[in-house]
């Protein structure tokens, strides 16, 4: 059974940094694309970015709203995905979900439960 | 970026009624790359339909996806109590993948 468990959320001041983690199990981690999707309070879903799989050399891609501030990385030995968030803005306040798919051109059949990030002074 | 516009914003229906949700894209989307998700309060989204009309594992046949080009539809033939939720469409045809703003199906 695929399991994704996010952690690392919390309260941070504008301009601050936070690192989120996603622990994965139940599938071959290195073979899967891993994405981050966020949802601001009471709002819809916004794709944040993704890490490709081994065949793709783990290439990353980001939404324009976070490019240059957020960095996605993965540790395949720990089956873990990370989201380093720098220069945080109030509008980054959201629940952050990690999700997995086999490759590009596929939807997200598996999601974590999410971790809340609040950016506020 | 492909913008997905869902309508209506809220659908007020009674259990047993039929629900028809619309998702319109700002440019053509291959039907292979259009999905629908259901989200209940406090939960992560859950995949319902992918490739426009293929039900995900375990999804009952009262959920039907259809459409092509720029117009896609999710139909719930007879609403069950557990179907009252928010529904999102997603295109994963081009980067960045995008989601619609959601349609809330609420109990009338």
Inform me whether the pLDDT recorded for A105 exceeds 90.
Answer: no
Weakly modelled stretches of chain B, pLDDT under 70:
none
Nearest one of B82, B101, B100 to B40, comparing CA atoms: B82
Which residue from B50, B95, B99 is facing A45, i.e. has the nearest CB?
A: B99
Nearest-5° Cα angle at A107, B68 to B33: 20
Counting Cβ atoms within 10 Å, is residue B46 exposed (0-12), middle (13-18) or buried (19+)? middle
Q: A-B interface: how many C-beta pairs under 8 angstroms?
A: 50
Distance CA A114, CA A59 (A): 23
pLDDT number for residue A100:
96
Inform me whether the pLDDT recorded for A101 exceeds 90.
Answer: yes
pLDDT number for residue A117:
98
**Chain-wide mean pLDDT for chain B?**
97
pLDDT in tens, B38-50: 999 999 999 999 9
pLDDT number for residue A58:
95
Number of neighbours of residue B32 by Cβ within 10 angstroms: 13
pLDDT number for residue B8:
96
Inform me whether the pLDDT recorded for A70 exceeds 90.
Answer: yes
Chain A contact present for B41, CB below 8 A: no
pLDDT number for residue A103:
86
pLDDT number for residue A54:
94
pLDDT in tens, A27-58: 999 999 999 999 999 999 999 999 999 999 99
Pair B38, B87: CB distance under 8 Å: yes
Q: In whole angstroms, how far apart are CA A51 and each of A119, B4, B27?
A: 24, 24, 26
Nearest one of A77, A101, A99 to B44, comparing CA atoms: A99
Which one of B96, B101, B102 would you mutate to disrupt binding with A, by most A Cβ within 10 Å of its Cβ?
B96
Nearest one of A78, A25, A31, A26 to A51, comparing CA atoms: A31
* Inter-chain residue contact B100 with A97, CB threshold 8 Å: no
pLDDT band at A104 (very low <50, low <70, confident <90, very high): confident
Mean pLDDT of A87-100: 98
* Inter-chain residue contact B44 with A45, CB threshold 8 Å: no
């Amino acid at each position: 059974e695929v399991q994704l468990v996010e952690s690392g959320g919390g309260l941070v001041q504008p301009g601050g940094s936070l690192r989120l983690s996603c622990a994965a199990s139940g599938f071959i981690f290195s073979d899967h694309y891993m994405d981050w999707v966020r949802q601001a309070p009471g709002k819809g879903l916004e794709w944040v970015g993704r890490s490709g799989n081994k065949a793709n050399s783990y290439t990353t891609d980001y939404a324009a709203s976070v490019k240059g501030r957020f960095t996605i990385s993965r540790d395949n030995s720990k089956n873990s995905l990370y989201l380093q968030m720098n220069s945080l803005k109030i509008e980054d306040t959201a629940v952050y979900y990690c999700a997995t798919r086999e490759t590009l051109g596929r939807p997200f059949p598996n999601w974590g439960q999410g971790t809340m990030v609040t950016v506020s002074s | 970026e492909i913008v997905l516009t869902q309508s209506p914003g809220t659908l007020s229906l009674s259990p047993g009624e039929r629900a028809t949700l619309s998702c319109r894209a700002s440019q053509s989307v291959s039907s292979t790359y259009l999905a629908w998700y259901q989200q209940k309060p406090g939960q992560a989204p859950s995949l319902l339909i992918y490739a426009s009309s293929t039900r995900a594992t375990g999804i009952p046949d009262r959920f039907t996806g259809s459409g092509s080009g720029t117009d896609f539809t999710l139909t719930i033939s007879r609403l069950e109590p557990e179907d009252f939720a928010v529904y999102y469409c997603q295109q994963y045809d081009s980067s960045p993948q995008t989601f619609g703003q959601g349609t809330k199906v609420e109990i009338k």
